[in-house]
Amino acid sequence: MAFELPDLPYAHDALADLGMSKETLEYHHDLHHKAYVDNGNKLIAGTEWEGKSLEEIIVGTYDKNAVAQNGIFNNISQLWNHNQFWEMMGPGKSAMPGELEKALVESFGSVEEFKTQFCAAGAGQFGSGWAWLVKNADGSLAVTKTENGVNPLCFGQTALLGCDVWEHSYYIDFRNKRPAYLTNFLDNLVNWENVASRM
């Protein structure tokens, strides 16, 4: 069964007052995300990956030794990444649940230090990619960054929070100011209840 583009969990203009415009979501979700869905479906048709889950395809096609990943991986991983990304954000102020705050303090010393490291990871990712808050197999939390469509599934980690730092995610609203986009993402856009539910 072919993968489908999921609807946004909120209206296209729901995040506009928080720093992510209707125009950005129309381009990012309706065009970019849809392209990953369409291209991914075409590439897996008639292969061993047809009928497998997104997660199985990502883990099965990732090549840790490759300079550039293959087309199936790139499209399917970006399909998965964006499925998570929309859910990790939401309209309205989101309070950070106590269990998440406690875990961040235990791992980073403070919530502010986590935010500092997360923003530095995203700003420091050369070219396209993602910044992540992940849970390792031993239960510890860490901030990571990945190139292009690579994600925590490739390393046996659980993605708790991810921020897309491809230019199409922020250029309409922030132009080339990626650090400002990242700060705004953490301060105004993150659905912290969703992040906590992934722990």
Binding-site annotation: residue ranges for Mn(2+):
28, 82, 164, 168
| Residue ranges at the known binding site | 28, 82, 164, 168
Task: Give yes or no for a contact between 75 and 69, defined as CB atoms under 8 angstroms apart.
Answer: no
Q: Which of 126, 144, 141, 132 is nearest to 185 (CA)?
A: 132
Q: Evaluate the CA torsion angle 87, 154, 165, 131 in order and state its sign.
A: positive
How close are the terminal C-alpha atoms of the chain, in Å? Answer: 29
**Backbone φ, ψ for residue 129 (5° rounding):** 160, -155
Cβ neighbours of residue 172 closer than 8 Å, sequence gap 6 or more: 21, 23, 24, 27
